[in-house]
């Protein structure tokens, strides 16, 4: 079997090839730190005080947020959803029809979960019992488990 994780990679910082896992981007700790610093900078570069897209109030935007508060965030989300609904009328209809069916499905899922929990409890109890018996026998025979 071949090991795909050990394909040669090229370091994104110093461009040196190195053997490494697929997800690795850098050859060394040094390069990894440099890469993280760079990413950090580009992420935060566009950040800073900016107006809220809902109320226009300037807010201290240290994250990717578009709005100043939870309230505005909700309002913005609603607006986005409404716009989406207007342009996706057919899909909204399908979703509404699906939602009408949901109460029955939810009820079924609940019953299923409860039955499953019961069964899991039973299996756990049986497993514990088996372990206890095995340990008792082992103790009697002087075997360390």
Interface contacts to Zn ion, rule CB under 5 A: 11, 13-14, 27, 31, 52, 54-55, 68, 72
Residues 117 and 123: their CA atoms lie apart, in Å, by: 10
55 vs 92, beta carbon nearer Zn ion: 55
Distances (CA, A) of 83 to 34, 79, 90, 114: 41, 6, 14, 40
CB of 49 to Zn ion, least distance (A): 13
- In which region does residue 58 sit, left (phi positive, over 0), alpha (psi from -120 to 50) or beta (all else)? beta
CB 66 within 8 A of CB 53: yes
Q: Which is nearer to Zn ion, 31 or 105 (CB)?
A: 31
Closest distance between Zn ion and the C-beta of residue 81, in Å?
Answer: 17
Q: Give least dist CB 16 to Zn ion, A.
A: 5
Looking at the Cβ atoms of 4 and 56, the one nearer to Zn ion is 56
């Amino acid at each position: 079997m071949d090991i795909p994780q050990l394909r040669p990679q090229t370091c994104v910082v110093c461009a040196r090839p190195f053997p490494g896992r697929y997800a690795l981007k850098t050859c060394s700790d040094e390069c990894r730190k440099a890469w993280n610093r760079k990413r950090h900078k580009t992420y935060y570069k566009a950040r800073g005080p900016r107006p809220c897209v809902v109320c226009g109030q300037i807010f201290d935007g240290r994250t990717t947020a578009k709005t100043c508060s939870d309230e505005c965030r909700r309002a913005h989300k609603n607006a986005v959803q409404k716009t989406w609904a207007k342009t996706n009328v057919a899909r909204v209809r399908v979703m509404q029809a699906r939602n009408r069916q949901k109460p029955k499905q939810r009820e079924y899922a609940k019953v299923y979960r409860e039955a499953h929990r019961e069964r899991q409890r039973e299996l756990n109890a049986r497993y514990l019992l088996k372990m206890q018996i095995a340990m008792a026998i082992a103790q009697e025979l002087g075997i360390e488990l």
